Amino acid sequence: MTNQTTERFSSFAQFYPYYLQEHSNATCRRLHYVGSLLVLGIIAYSVLTQQWLWLLAIPLVGYGFAWVGHFVFEKNRPATFDYPLYSLMADWVMLKDAFTGRIKF
């Protein structure tokens, strides 16, 4: 596993290029996308059916797919451990960037 940087980021704009570097493996990125899309599906299902207990699955699904991507394919430590808020934001920006063609799926 690669070591995380000791650099502290003072803005999301500084953090995001680092985040993309930590997601250079295509399978890792795809697992993030699957987890994020499943999270959206769980939210939609919960709202439509009013079965709120499904919302408890969000962390397991969202982080589960991402962490498999990091530990198995990327072979690094998820940035979430050091930068939880920036990482959560970056997950959604990376998904948007994939859908808009800015980065590869």
46 confidence band (pLDDT: 50, 70, 90): very high
What proportion of the chain, given as a percentage, has pLDDT over 70? 93
- Distance between the two ends of the chain, CA-based, in angstroms? 23
Contact 66, 31 (CB under 8 A): yes
Instruction: State the pLDDT at residue 1.
Output: 56
| CA neighbor of 40 nearest in space, from 91, 84, 105 | 91
Report the pLDDT value the prediction gives residue 97, as an integer from 0 to 100: 98
**pTM summary value:** 0.89
| Residues 90, 2: Cα–Cα separation, whole Å | 20
pLDDT value of residue 104: 83
Secondary structure (DSSP) of 60-92: HHHHHHHHHIIIIII-B--GGGT-HHHHHHHHH
Q: Kindly report the average pLDDT of the chain as a whole number.
A: 94
